[in-house]
Structure formats: C-alpha cells, structure tokens
Amino acid sequence: MKKFLLLLTIIAALQMTAQQKKAYQIFKANGKKTNYKKLLKAARKADIVFFGEEHDNPIAHWLELELTKDLYQKSNKPLIIGAEMMETDNQKQVDQYLQNQIDYKTFKKEARLWPNFKTDYKPLLDFAKQKKIPFVATNVPRRYASKVYHGGFKVLDSLPENEKQWLAPLPIKYDKNLSQYQKMLKMMGGHGGENLPKAQAVKDATMAHNILKNYKPGHLFIHYNGSFHSNFYQGIIWYIKQQKPDLKILTISVETQDNMKKIDKKNSGKADFIIVVNKNIPRSY
C-alpha cells in the first residue's frame, strides 16, 4: 500500500512538473532568480529603461507590450516611448499616424517599416496612439550607417546640412576598445574591418542623441532596441553617459538558453535584468 501511494505521489509530481513548463525565467545581473513584479518595481524608479530584445523573439515582444502597459498604469511618471525600429527621418509619419492624420496603410507605404513591424511593433505604436504617449523614432536612417560601413565616419562630413539633422551631432565620438565593438569584429571574423563597429556606433550615438533630445525630467523613457545596443551598459548607454551621467538607467536583456534553471555564464551581467527564454520557443520569423 505504501509503495502504491509513493508511486501515485511521484506520478502526480511528474504531471505537475510537465504542467509548469516555463517559457521564460528572469534573472538579476548577478545570476540570481527574480520575477516580473520586481522588474516592474525597479523599472518604475528609473529615468530611462532599455528593453534589449532579440528581434525575432515572440516572448520579448509580448513582454515589451506588457511592461509598457504596466508602467503606464502603475508608474507615477508620464511615459515617453522610443524605438530603434523607427528611423529619424520617419518621425513625421509616426506623428501623423499617432494623431490620426494618416491610416496604417498610408503609414506603411510612406515609412520604412521592418518586415515584422505589424505583428511585433505595431501593438506598441497603437498603445501609444490610444494613450497619447509620445513615440520617438530614434535610429539613424540606415543609408547613413551603410555609408559609414563603406567609407568610415569621414563620409558624414560631406553630407548636405539638411541631411545631418537625422544624425547625432558630428563628429561622432567613438571608442573602438569597448568590448561590444571588439566582439562585433571577432564575430564577423574581421569582415568589414574597422568600419563595421563604426556603423554600429553611428546608430548608437544617434539613438542616444534622440533619447536625450526627447527625454523630460520627471518622465520615464522606455526604449526598445536590439540587446547588443545596450548590453553591458555600452552602445547607446555609453553615449548617454558621456552627456548625462546622473540619469537613472535600467537595462533589460533577452537571451535564449536550453537550461532555464540557472543563467549561462556568458549571459550573466549583460543587464540589470536578464530574461532567459526557453530555446524551444518558436521564432516569429
């Protein structure tokens, strides 16, 4: 009888474990487990929150929207939203869409939207539209990053003055020794040479410039970007710290792992909060 009861207990425990499969687990920078409630509490105290995503990760996109909604409802600070996915010279179209001056069909035609914009970023834009939250297109137009990739920073000097408004003020400050830029060179095996991280830097500098340009004291600015742009407090944040070192910044990074029980060494310390997503979750594209 005792053996039978023990068997039933084991079966029940296994069934419960199967029912509690996790899609994600949140960790602190030091690798200790935490939860969404604590992440939200910390985010409410920040001046700027960087949500570093994996662009094709559906869990990241869902949590971006949920966090934005919760910050709107539970923060005592008005929100400002910004995104890498929108480029500075499309700010006019963003504003027109938010103000119901153009419909989504026209917006899609006139702005250079990412292929996954409708499913992954339109919900954020529509929430901003509904709640009348400013939405800032922060990223440099991709054609200028391409120019830097092929010709270095010097090509920016020859741009017409009316085009320079879409970039961070020139000359672009740059530290080639930042570990993320060095990592980029190693990942690409040297392909693209020194201009590859410079192309990344012009994006980082421009996003930082537009965040600071639109940030208002007493507000909470939440910015969506690929995690590489904010991991290890580098990228965009490095540029922000050059100008406004006293701003309270909170970082989030989304990573994927096989093991959900503990954080991989390579992911530890990437951000204040690391959202580890189950590697078996299907990608959005």
All residues at 6 or more sequence positions from 35 whose CB lies less than 8 Å from its CB, including other chains: 26
For residue range 249-274, list pLDDT tens digits in order.
Answer: 999 999 999 999 999 999 999 999 99
CA distance 129 to 125: 6
All residues at 6 or more sequence positions from 152 whose CB lies less than 8 Å from its CB, including other chains: 194, 195, 198
Identify the burial level of 48 via C-beta atoms within 10 angstroms of its C-beta, where 0-12 means exposed, 13-18 middle and 19 or more buried.
buried
Nearest to 203 by CA among 245, 256, 144: 144
Q: Is the pLDDT of residue 191 over 80?
A: no
Q: What is the pLDDT of residue 248?
A: 98
CA distance 32 to 11: 30
Yes or no: say if 47 and 247 are a contact pair by the CB < 8 Å rule.
yes
Q: Is the pLDDT of residue 97 over 70?
A: yes
For residue range 206-264, list pLDDT tens digits in order.
Answer: 999 999 999 999 999 999 999 999 999 999 999 999 999 999 999 999 999 999 999 99
Q: Is the pLDDT of residue 192 over 50?
A: yes
Q: Is the pLDDT of residue 90 over 90?
A: yes
Two structure tokens written together for 68? 């934005």
The model's confidence at residue 13, banded by pLDDT at 50, 70 and 90, is: very low
Q: Write down the pTM of the prediction.
A: 0.91
Share of residues in the chain with pLDDT > 70 (%): 92
Q: What is the mean pLDDT of the chain?
A: 92
Domain ranges of the chain: 25-278
Q: What is the pLDDT of residue 7?
A: 41
Q: What is the pLDDT of residue 145?
A: 97
Yes or no: say if 224 and 66 are a contact pair by the CB < 8 Å rule.
no
The model's confidence at residue 186, banded by pLDDT at 50, 70 and 90, is: confident
Hey, is 11 helix, strand or coil? helix
Look at the alpha carbons of 137, 215, 176, 173 in this order and tell me if their dihedral is positive or negative: positive
**CATH level 3 topology of 25-278:** Rossmann fold (3.40.50)
Nearest to 126 by CA among 44, 59, 68, 60: 68
Q: Is the pLDDT of residue 19 over 60?
A: no
143-147, 169-173, 190-194, 200-204, range with the lowest pLDDT = 190-194
Residue type, 122: K
Tell me the pairing of strands 33-34 and 220-226: unpaired
